[in-house]
Chain A
Amino acid sequence: MRAILFDVTKCAGCGSCMAACREKNGLPETSAEDLAAQQFTVVKTAAGKGGSELNYRRMCMHCVDPTCASVCPVGALHKTANGPVVYDPEICLGCRYCLQACPFGVPRYEWTSLAPRVRKCSFCADRLAEGKINACAEACPTGATLAGEREELLAEARSRLKAEPGKYVQRIYGEHDAGGTSVLYISPVDFSAIGLPENLPGEPLPLLTQAALSKIPAVVAAGGFLLAGLWWLTERKAEVVKAEGADR
C-alpha cells in the first residue's frame, strides 16, 4: 500500500505541493486558506516551539479503512488496493454522509453547483497507476512530503523519531489513528496544534456501525418468530373468548 510521510520539521512553506496539485488536477488558484472544493491540499502555519513558526500541510488522509467509503450508500467512494481513496461522481447521490462522517473533516462540496461533486485529493491514483509518484511529493523541494510504501515510510519515520528524540513528539500520526491512514505525520508539536484530531479511536470507525448492522439478521429472525408467536397466541385467545361467549 502506497503512502505519504509528511515531516513537519522539514516543511519550508513554499507551496510547491499546492501548485503541483493545482496543475495536476486542473484547479484554479484560490484565496481559500483551507481545503476547498478547488483546493485539495493546503499549507498552513502554526506556532512551533519557542515562539518559532512552523508549516504543515493538510490533505485527505486516505484511511486504511475509510469512514467515507463505508458510509456511502452506493459505494461512490472506495479504497483502492494500492492506497488511494477515490470518488466516482457519476453514481454519487449527493447525500453528503461522507462529509458528515469523515473524522478529519476533509471532503468538500460544490455547494452552488446543480450537479455538485464531493471534492478531495485522489492521492494521484492515475499517476500511481502509471508508476509515477504523487505530484505533491515529486514537487516538494525539501523532502517534507515523501512518497513510498506505507511500511517503508513507517520504518523511516520510526528511525527519524529515534535519531532525534528531542526534535519530535514520539508518535507517528496515522499509524493507528482511526485504524491507520495512508498519510502519516511526524511533528515537533502536538498533533492537535496542526489540526489533527487526537481523540480518534485506534480501531477503524466503520466498526462502530458494523456492530449495529451485524445485528440485523438476528433482529429479523427474532422479530419474525415473536410476531408469528404473538399472532398465534392472541388469535387463539380471541377464539377461546368467542367460544366461551357462545357457550353461555
Chain B
Amino acid sequence: MRTVRHVFWRVAALAILAAGAYAAFVRFTSGIGAATNLSDRYPWGLWIGFDILCGVGLAAGGFAITTAVYILHMEHLRPVVRPTVLTAFLGYVLVVVALLFDLGRPWNIWRATVWWNPHSVMFEVAWCVMLYTTVLALEFSPVVFERLRWHTALKVVRAAVAPLVGLGFLLSTLHQSSLGSLYLILPTKLHPLWYSPVLPVLFWISAVGTGLAMVIFESGLSARAFGRELEFGLLRGISKVMALFLGMFLLVRFLDLGMRGSLGYAFVFSGAGSYEAWMFWLEAGTTATAVLLVLSSRIRGNPQGLFATSVLALCGFLLNRLNVSTTGLDRSSGVRYFPSWMEAAVTMSIVVIGVIAFRFAATHLPVFHTAGKHDNKEMETPAVSAYAEP
C-alpha cells in the first residue's frame, strides 16, 4: 500500500515537471502571450496571484516563528524554527524563480537596485524581498554550517541572530503588507468587496496566520513522508495563535466592509455581482470554519483534525489572495480570466520543486533535529524551559 502511494506521487511529480518544462519552453521561446491567458485587459494572472501573492504569504511563518523565539524568548517553539526558516527560504527563492517567468524582461530584474522609484510599492517590495531573502539565508546558514562543522562561522551567525531576526521582522512587515498596498491604486478597478484602504493591514494579519498554518501543515506532511514531525502539544499551541490571527483577520475584514458601507455587495445572490458575493462567502466561510475547528477541543486535540484545520486555513488564505488578484478584477476588466494549462503547469512545477527541495534538505541537513554533539545541549534546554506548554 505504502509503495503504491509512493509510486503514485513520483509519477504525478514527474508528469507535472514534464508539463512545466514544456510550458517553460513555450514561455521562453514564444513569449508570455503564447503560454498564458493574459492580455492587455488582464495583465496579471496566476503567476502573480498565486506564485507571488500566496507564495510570500505562505512563507511568513519564517518571520513569525523566529520573532517569537529570538525576540519574545518563547523557547518552547525552538524546534519549529528550522523547518519554518527552511520553508520560508525555499519559498522566497521560488517566488523569485516564478517572477523570472512572469517578468517580460527578466534580465532587467537587477535594475531596481540602481534605478529607484521610491513612489512605487513594487519598488519597495522588490527591495524588501531581496534583503529578506538574504536574511533568511543567514538564518538558515547555521544548519549548513553545523553539517560542515564550520564552528567559527556558526559562532558569528549565532551572535548576530537577534538583530538579524529583528531586521527580518521589519522587512517582512513592510513587504507582506505592501503586497496588499499594490492594489491600493486600483480603487475603480478592484471590486469593493476586496478593495480597501486597510488592504496592507489585512495582508499582514493573514500572512502571519497562514505562516503558522503552514507550520502545522508541513509537520503533518513530514510525518507522513519521512516520519519526522513536531511535538503535537507544540502544534496545538501554534494552532491557537493561528486561530487568533485568522479571527482578527475576519474581524477587521467585516468591520472594514461595514464601515465603508460595502457589506451589501456580499448579499447580492443573483444576477450581476452574485459571482463576487459567492466567492466572498466561500473565502470568509472557509477561514471562519478553520477558526471554529480550532476552538473545538475535540478537533484540536487530534492530529488528523489539526492537520485538516491547517488545510482549511490555507484554502481560506489562497481564496482571499486569489480573489483580490483575480476575482475582484474580472468585472472591471470585462474578462473572466482563467489560467491556461501552461500557467498552471509552471505554478504546480514550482510547488513540486519546493517539496523536493524541502525533502532533500530535511533528509541531508539537521532540520528536525540537531546533528553535532556540540548542539545537543542547546536543544535540550528548551524542553525544560519555564515557557514550555504543559
Measured CB to CB, the residues of A under 8 A from B are: 36, 67, 70-76, 89, 91-97, 99-101, 103, 105, 107-116, 197, 199-201, 205-206, 208-213, 216, 219-220, 223-224, 227-228, 230-231, 234-235, 237-238, 241-242, 245
CA distance A116 to B40 in the complex (A): 12
User: Which are the 6 A-B pairs with shortest beta-carbon distances?
Assistant: A94-B104, A111-B33, A99-B43, A234-B73, A74-B115, A73-B122
CA distance A230 to B116 in the complex (A): 34
B275 close to A (CB within 8 Å): no
A114 and B185 in contact, given A73-B122, A213-B124 (Cβ under 8 angstroms): no
A108 and B121 in contact, given A91-B115, A97-B182 (Cβ under 8 angstroms): no
Contact check: which of A36, A96, A208 meets B43 at CB < 8 Å?
Answer: A96
Give a binary string over B67-84; 1 marks a CB under 8 Å from any A CB, 0 the rest.
100111111000000000
B386 close to A (CB within 8 Å): yes
Contact check: which of B33, B34, B184 meets A208 at CB < 8 Å?
Answer: B184
Q: Is B105 a contact of A92 with CB atoms below 8 Å?
A: yes
Which chain A residues lie closer than 8 Å to B123 at the CB level? 73-74
Measured CB to CB, the residues of B under 8 A from A are: 28-34, 38-41, 43-44, 67, 70-75, 102-106, 108-109, 111-112, 115-124, 126, 162, 166, 169-170, 173-174, 177-178, 181-182, 184-189, 197, 200, 385-387
Contact check: which of A97, A212, A227, A245 meets B169 at CB < 8 Å?
Answer: A227
Q: Is A109 a contact of B104 with CB atoms below 8 Å?
A: yes
Q: Is B181 a contact of A213 with CB atoms below 8 Å?
A: yes
Q: Is B173 a contact of A223 with CB atoms below 8 Å?
A: yes
Which chain B residues lie closer than 8 Å to A206 at the CB level? 119, 185
CA distance A228 to B70 in the complex (A): 11
Q: Is A212 a contact of B200 with CB atoms below 8 Å?
A: yes
Contact check: which of B106, B117, B174, B385 meets A220 at CB < 8 Å?
Answer: B174
- Closest B residue to A111 by beta carbon equals B33
Which chain A residues lie closer than 8 Å to B119 at the CB level? 70, 206, 209-210, 213
CA distance A230 to B166 in the complex (A): 11
Contact check: which of A113, A114, A116, A209 meets B181 at CB < 8 Å?
Answer: A209
Q: How far is the CB of B242 from chain A (nearest CB, A)?
A: 20
Which chain B residues lie closer than 8 Å to A91 at the CB level? 108, 111, 115
Contact check: which of A74, A105, A212, A230 meets B71 at CB < 8 Å?
Answer: A230
A74 and B111 in contact, given A111-B33, A216-B124 (Cβ under 8 angstroms): yes
Q: Is B197 a contact of A211 with CB atoms below 8 Å?
A: yes
CA distance A209 to B73 in the complex (A): 36
Q: Is A212 a contact of B121 with CB atoms below 8 Å?
A: yes
Contact check: which of A36, A99, A209, A224 meets B166 at CB < 8 Å?
Answer: A224
Q: Is B117 a contact of A209 with CB atoms below 8 Å?
A: no
Q: How far is the CB of B41 from chain A (nearest CB, A)?
A: 7
Which chain B residues lie closer than 8 Å to A205 at the CB level? 185, 187
Q: Is A231 a contact of B162 with CB atoms below 8 Å?
A: yes
Contact check: which of B71, B120, B174 meets A70 at CB < 8 Å?
Answer: B120
**Can you report 28 A-B residue pairs in the complex whose CB atoms are below 8 A from each other?**
A36-B40, A71-B121, A71-B185, A73-B123, A74-B112, A74-B115, A75-B120, A92-B104, A103-B188, A105-B40, A108-B40, A110-B104, A114-B30, A205-B185, A208-B197, A209-B119, A209-B120, A209-B181, A209-B184, A212-B121, A213-B118, A213-B121, A220-B170, A227-B67, A234-B73, A234-B74, A238-B385, A242-B386
A94 and B185 in contact, given A112-B30, A230-B72 (Cβ under 8 angstroms): no
A201 and B187 in contact, given A100-B43, A115-B105 (Cβ under 8 angstroms): yes
Q: Is B166 a contact of A227 with CB atoms below 8 Å?
A: yes
A245 and B115 in contact, given A73-B120, A111-B32, A209-B121 (Cβ under 8 angstroms): no
Which chain B residues lie closer than 8 Å to A101 at the CB level? 185-186
CA distance A28 to B106 in the complex (A): 28
CA distance A213 to B111 in the complex (A): 21
**Which among B28, B70, B173, B184 has the greatest number of chain A C-beta atoms within 10 A?**
B184
Which chain A residues lie closer than 8 Å to B74 at the CB level? 234
Which chain B residues lie closer than 8 Å to A208 at the CB level? 184-185, 187, 197
Which chain B residues lie closer than 8 Å to A72 at the CB level? 117, 120, 122
Q: Is B124 a contact of A67 with CB atoms below 8 Å?
A: no
Which chain A residues lie closer than 8 Å to B29 at the CB level? 114
Which chain B residues lie closer than 8 Å to A220 at the CB level? 170, 174
- Closest B residue to A205 by beta carbon equals B185
Which chain A residues lie closer than 8 Å to B30 at the CB level? 112, 114
Known contacts A114-B28, A209-B120, then 11 further A-B pairs from the complex at CB < 8 Å, ordered by chain A residue? A71-B121, A74-B116, A93-B103, A93-B112, A95-B104, A205-B185, A206-B185, A210-B119, A234-B72, A235-B73, A238-B385
- Closest A residue to B386 by beta carbon equals A241
Q: How far is the CB of B67 from chain A (nearest CB, A)?
A: 7
Q: Is A93 a contact of B188 with CB atoms below 8 Å?
A: no
A116 and B105 in contact, given A209-B184, A228-B166, A231-B162 (Cβ under 8 angstroms): yes
Q: Is B174 a contact of A112 with CB atoms below 8 Å?
A: no
